[in-house]
């Protein structure tokens, strides 16, 4: 009986999907945009010797450049036009959100509604250009100083190469930012997250082949590979469990009389996720750590103290791990405070007559929300630190590919779950619209 019911539900979903024309158009648009992104990761920057860059990336595959290359879907290793990927836009978003909490003018824009959000988005775009210019120029200078066994990385160094490299990389970042916004508006899912996920997923087969090759050559034992596969499966299961876990707060609405009819008296719940911030803290922490790492990495031949600091902040070092964990926890609290305002939620409940049993409406309800949210965020932040750092320790000690790291697994699983949820929402909306049309037709008859 259960299997028959599941088969019937599956057939109904397929039937609804076959009729959901708008959803299919959104899916095709998303797929086409991601294909354009992947093509861009193979278009090289003019004037760069790809063989030297590949040799350099191979020697730094387990460093910060390797992590940057992971987020870029391999574009940095090929020095493609999308080498900077979407990371400058993410860094700009972090800075604007931080400033929105500290600068009264920006905080006022957040409360203005749609017009205020448009202005903040515009400021984010301007800041993205500035950050991309800064990083692109650093990459251009670094490329001119690189030399491999095949010769220098730049065929004809000079101001013309720097100018063309900066224009190409900044243009690629701005085009990716536009693609991400188009996916969000006209496709399915969050465009920025999907672009990052597409880069990670595209290189998973190559990373899996490298893992098996390390087992074949004896660099890793068969027992360790089996243990790592079990650990990855357990990590995915933990991510799915925690991301779907909720703390449900009971909310009641009193009865009220309007004319001769009684309204209200309902009891519902307000769901609060354990990990309210989602995948944002690891992405934010990684992008912030990449900015000083880029400066330190290109300071080759500089003062000794710069090299010492660069070594301390290298991937897998204790200082890097501590900072990474601290930033994950910080951004967990920060982003939760941005997306959920206890005072505003308590005021809205009070406005519509809702209350939490045993808690007074108003400031007491806001304090209750804040207390519950603080505890949930503490658990969520600890969960993110464990998920992100445990595989990172294995990567730094055993030389495993970055694509099996906790951050990459968290991004892939979380973005996949969010995208599937949006697809289901579109299907439910389409099914609901179909029922309304049928009821109207019957009413006319």
Write out the two tokens for 293.
């790492």
Pair (195, 227) in one structural domain:
no
Range of the domain at 108: 21-202
Q: How far is CA 440 from the centre of its chain?
A: 43
Taking the complete model, does pTM exceed 0.85, yes or no?
Answer: no
Pair (166, 147) in one structural domain:
yes
Pair (383, 308) in one structural domain:
yes
Pair (162, 258) in one structural domain:
no
Write out the two tokens for 37.
């992104």
Q: What is the dihedral of CA 191, 192, 193, 197, to 10 degrees?
A: 90
Q: Give the pLDDT of residue 175.
A: 93
Taking the C-alpha atoms of residue 128 and residue 199, their distance in angstroms, rounded to an integer, is 20
Pair (182, 220) in one structural domain:
no
H-helix or E-strand containing 249? strand 246-252
Query: What is the tens place of the pLDDT at every residue in 242-278?
Result: 888 888 888 887 766 555 665 556 777 788 888 888 7
Question: Using the 8-state DSSP alphabet, how is residue 147 labeled?
Answer: E
- Please say which residue of 160, 177, 202 terminates a domain: 202
Pair (186, 289) in one structural domain:
no
Asked whether residue 445 is assigned to any structural domain, the reply reads yes
* Phi, psi angle pair for 354, to nearest 5°: -85, 150
Helices 318-339, 363-398: inter-axial angle, 10-degree rounding: 150
Contacts of residue 204, defined as CB under 8 A and 6 or more positions apart, other chains included, come to 403
Pair (362, 393) in one structural domain:
yes
Q: Give the pLDDT of residue 182.
A: 92
Query: What is the tens place of the pLDDT at every residue in 79-96?
Result: 888 888 888 888 888 788
Q: Provide the total of helices (H) and of strands (E) in the chain, helices listed first.
A: 17, 6
- Please say which residue of 144, 169, 202 terminates a domain: 202
Q: Give the pLDDT of residue 60.
A: 61
Pair (194, 259) in one structural domain:
no
Block residue for tokens 């009891």 = 267
Strand partners, 269: 250
Pair (143, 188) in one structural domain:
yes
Instruction: List Cα–Cα distances, 236 to 62, 222, 397, 404, in angstroms.
Output: 23, 21, 22, 11
Pair (376, 316) in one structural domain:
yes
Q: Which residues of the chain have pLDDT under 70?
A: 1-20, 58-67, 255-265, 287, 290-316, 395-406, 430-445
Pair (186, 258) in one structural domain:
no
Q: How far is CA 42 from the centre of its chain?
A: 23
Q: Give the pLDDT of residue 309.
A: 66
Task: Write out the E strands in 253-313.
Answer: 255-258, 261-264, 267-273
3-state secondary structure of 151: strand
Taking the C-alpha atoms of residue 80 and residue 199, their distance in angstroms, rounded to an integer, is 13
CB 408 within 8 A of CB 199: no
CA angle 110, 116, 119 (to 5 degrees): 115
Asked whether residue 321 is assigned to any structural domain, the reply reads yes
């Amino acid at each position: 009986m259960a299997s028959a019911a599941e088969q019937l539900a599956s057939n109904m979903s397929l039937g609804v999907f076959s009729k959901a024309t708008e959803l299919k158009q959104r899916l095709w648009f998303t797929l086409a945009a991601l294909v354009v992104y992947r093509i861009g990761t193979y278009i090289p920057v003019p004037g760069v010797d790809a063989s030297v860059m590949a040799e350099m990336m191979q020697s730094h595959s387990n460093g910060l450049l390797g992590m940057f290359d992971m987020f870029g879907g391999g574009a940095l290793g090929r020095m493609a036009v999308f080498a900077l990927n979407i990371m400058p836009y993410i860094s700009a978003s972090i800075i604007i959100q931080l400033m929105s909490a500290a600068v009264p003018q920006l905080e006022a824009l957040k409360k203005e509604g749609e017009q205020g959000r448009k202005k903040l988005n515009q400021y984010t775009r301007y800041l993205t250009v500035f950050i991309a210019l800064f990083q692109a120029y650093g990459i251009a200078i670094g490329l001119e100083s690189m030399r491999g066994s095949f010769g220098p990385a730049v065929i004809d160094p000079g101001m013309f190469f720097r100018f063309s490299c900066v224009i190409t990389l900044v243009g690629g970042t701005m085009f990716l930012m536009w693609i991400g916004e188009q996916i969000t508006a006209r496709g399915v899912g969050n465009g920025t997250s999907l672009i990052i996920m597409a880069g990670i997923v595209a290189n998973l087969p190559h990373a899996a082949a490298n893992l098996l090759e390390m087992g074949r050559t004896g660099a890793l034992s068969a027992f360790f590979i089996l243990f790592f596969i079990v650990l990855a499966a357990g990590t995915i299961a933990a991510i799915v469990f925690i991301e779907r876990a909720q703390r449900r707060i009971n909310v009641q609405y009193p009865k009220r009389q309007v004319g001769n009819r009684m309204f209200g008296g309902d009891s519902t719940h307000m769901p609060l996720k354990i990990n309210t911030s989602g995948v944002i803290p690891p992405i934010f922490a990684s992008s912030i750590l990449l900015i000083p790492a880029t400066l330190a990495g290109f300071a080759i031949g500089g003062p000794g103290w710069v090299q010492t600091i660069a070594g301390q902040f290298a991937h897998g070092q204790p200082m890097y791990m501590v900072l990474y964990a601290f930033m994950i926890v910080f951004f967990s609290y920060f982003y939760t405070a941005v997306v959920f305002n206890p005072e505003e939620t308590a005021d809205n409940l009070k406005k519509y007559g809702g209350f939490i049993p045993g808690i007074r409406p108003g400031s007491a309800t806001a304090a209750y929300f804040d207390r519950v949210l603080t505890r949930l965020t503490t658990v969520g932040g600890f969960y993110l630190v464990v998920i992100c750092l445990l595989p990172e320790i294995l990567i730094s000690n055993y030389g495993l590919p970055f694509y099996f790291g906790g951050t990459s697994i968290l991004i892939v699983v979380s973005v996949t779950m969010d995208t599937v949820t949006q697809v289901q929402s579109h299907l439910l909306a389409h099914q609901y619209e179909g029922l309304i049309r049928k009821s109207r037709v019957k009413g006319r008859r």
